[in-house]
Structure 1
């Protein structure tokens, strides 16, 4: 898969001089709805005997149009997005820098410079995709701007449980700890990354030593709760359980942490870059009356997590 970074105005020599089927979107999460777009683009490319290209952006357009008071938290890092693009059969990915200059293009200018300029035989996008002002730069209006120079394929909403699958819905599920729902909508297990750092070693004193994870800036961490997870250290994956919360049993006004207890594991792993798959929500966070009550609950969480992975391995 070839990655080409584009900043408007761009040098036309950057663009391979060959026809493509072009899929467009920001694709945060590359969820089941996005996958319908990419699958159709791949199908059309195969039928036409050309490459499949993706036009996407280096950051969310919201950052240009609105005040973002905190760091924007994505469902997929760029690395993760590339992995899914590759899995979906993309040949070329155009990563366009979304700037004020780009945002000022009219729908016709965007069509001419990017869709025609990228040599699209066909353009594929979700029914609600826009490429300029949302009232005019619609998929419904795109055939007018295309003027017969390329085909337009608008993909209808993909629904689960009677509601559209979209990045906003998935972000809300993750923020609420509903990773099972998020995973169903994504079509794969939600993943984050991080670095193992020193914590306060509370878990070690009660028989549950944890890896304290410094999460990656810009990634969306699931809401407060306890989860069955898998963690990748080096090349190996391990079953584990994770706690996202404030350790309120040990005092008030504590920082939010991500701590992972890895089953049957005793190695020191400080400084390791890790990946975490958020498989299953176990329970919400509870402030216990004492350490013994916490230990009893951790034993139950341990058992529930192991049973979950046993059940998963039988499917």
Structure 2
């Protein structure tokens, strides 16, 4: 997959001469709704014997318009992971635009003239609620007028689950709630995050459940407090285990949230490893136990549930 990184104003020399069907969107998470847009664009590109291209952005456009705080700074897919997902969907070319104040200052007509036409678009495809400027004028309904017959416009209807629109907002709420099973269903794949293994309090090894403490980037979503089944990628190998997002309240109050993973049957030194976590299934919420012994009893039950889960996954 070819990736063309663009900073406004566009240098036409960056753009290949061949025509494309162009799917447009920020695509945070590249969830099932986004996949429907890209699959429709792929079908059109195949029918017209041209390449499938995607126009997306390197960060959330809202950053240009207002201060981003807290959860607004987090992404379901970093630019690197987004590109990986687009590649898996068969995209031939990605126009990765840096969303700046100057870029946002364009009128809808200027955006169409300077970008969509310059990309040699034969069909522009996006979701029904996609905008490319001010929401009241930069709509998919108005895009054919701005196109002025230079390319076709295809609008993809909403993708729904349980009668609700599949959206990045809905997935982010599921992540916040710790509902990773719901988030994965809406994404259409198992959510992944990254991190590096660092030293913790080493308390896990004293109770028979040594953990890898994963320091996670501030700009990536992590499921809410709870205990989950997951896999940890070290190098090229995936290791199954159970992972806790929580404060270890059993050992004191007002502790910081940590991400700690106990790997099944693993022996080795993971400190300093850059890792990837694949989040599978929620086992339970966090509990403040009366004693370390009660915690150990629960962890033993969690281990049994985790082994059963991955045995079933292997069987399927």
TM-score (norm 1): 0.98
In the TM superposition, 1:120-269 aligns within 5 A as 120-269=121-270
1:45 maps to what in 2? Answer: 45
Matched, 1:91 2:92: yes
- 3-state SS of the aligned residue for 2:303? helix
Query: 2:170 and 2:113 mapped to 1: Cα distance?
Result: 33
- 3-state SS of the aligned residue for 1:258? strand
Query: 1:64 and 1:265 mapped to 2: Cα distance?
Result: 45
1:24 maps to what in 2? Answer: 24
- Unaligned regions of 5+ residues in structure 1, if any? none
Query: 1:291 and 1:206 mapped to 2: Cα distance?
Result: 8
- 3-state SS of the aligned residue for 1:220? coil
Query: 2:279 and 2:177 mapped to 1: Cα distance?
Result: 13
Matched, 1:110 2:111: yes
Query: 1:121 and 1:10 mapped to 2: Cα distance?
Result: 19
Query: 1:110 and 1:11 mapped to 2: Cα distance?
Result: 14
Query: 1:8 and 1:254 mapped to 2: Cα distance?
Result: 45
Structure 1 residue 69, shift from structure 2 partner: 2.4
User: 1:257-294, CA deviations, whole angstroms, 9 ceiling, x for partnerless residues?
Assistant: 00000000121111111111100001000111111110
TM-score (norm 2): 0.98
- 3-state SS of the aligned residue for 2:73? coil
RMSD value, Cα: 0.9
Query: 2:111 and 2:257 mapped to 1: Cα distance?
Result: 43
* Preserved CA contact (<8 Å) 2:10 2:114: no
- Unaligned regions of 5+ residues in structure 2, if any? none
1:287 maps to what in 2? Answer: 288
Q: How many residues align?
A: 315
1:77 maps to what in 2? Answer: 78
User: 1:10-43, CA deviations, whole angstroms, 9 ceiling, x for partnerless residues?
Assistant: 2111111111111100000000000011111111
The runs of 4+ residues in structure 1 deviating greater than 6 Å are none
Query: 2:256 and 2:175 mapped to 1: Cα distance?
Result: 20
- 3-state SS of the aligned residue for 1:287? coil
Query: 2:247 and 2:117 mapped to 1: Cα distance?
Result: 52
User: 1:231-253, CA deviations, whole angstroms, 9 ceiling, x for partnerless residues?
Assistant: 11111111100000001110112
* Preserved CA contact (<8 Å) 2:10 2:115: no
Structure 1 residue 308, shift from structure 2 partner: 1.1
Query: 1:39 and 1:253 mapped to 2: Cα distance?
Result: 47
1:54 maps to what in 2? Answer: 54
2:311 maps to what in 1? Answer: 310
Structure 1 residue 310, shift from structure 2 partner: 1.3
- 3-state SS of the aligned residue for 1:143? helix
- 3-state SS of the aligned residue for 2:297? helix
User: 1:38-65, CA deviations, whole angstroms, 9 ceiling, x for partnerless residues?
Assistant: 1111111111111111100010011111
Query: 1:240 and 1:69 mapped to 2: Cα distance?
Result: 32
Query: 2:91 and 2:218 mapped to 1: Cα distance?
Result: 27
Structure 1 residue 217, shift from structure 2 partner: 3.1
Structure 1 residue 216, shift from structure 2 partner: 2.1
2:120 maps to what in 1? Answer: 119
1:34 maps to what in 2? Answer: 34
